[in-house]
Amino acid sequence: MLDTKQYCEDMGIQLSQWKDEVCDILNTVEVFPENDKKLMATQISTLRHLVADLSGKIDRLKSQCPVDFGAANAEMQRSISELRKKVKTMWDFDNIAGGYVGG
């Protein structure tokens, strides 16, 4: 059985990886032409909010690891599932020009 400290470390790592992925997307968008960035303003804002939310969750796991993580784990898994859907919906790699992603 997973102990609480290990759970918090594992979830922190997983959330950090997602945060890094979203930050990579934001860094890629930064080189877009200004007109394209204006068209994507809502998505960019949403991604920035995701980074802030992930940062908060990571910090909470470091400082306030729950004693009973069953409910916390279910909530984190829901959050990660929603994050996957948002990133996939917002960042459609099939419709991004190759020049924007180093191609």
pLDDT at 1: 46
pLDDT at 98: 43
Which sign, positive or negative, has the C-alpha torsion 93, 94, 100, 103? positive
The reply to whether the predicted model has a pTM over 0.85 is no
Closest CA to 83 of 23, 6, 22, 1: 22
Mean pLDDT per block of 10 residues along the chain (103 residues) reads 75 89 87 85 85 88 74 73 74 51 43
Per-residue DSSP letter, 58 = H
Q: What is the C-alpha to C-alpha distance for residues 32 and 43, in angstroms, rounded to an integer?
A: 13
pLDDT at 54: 87
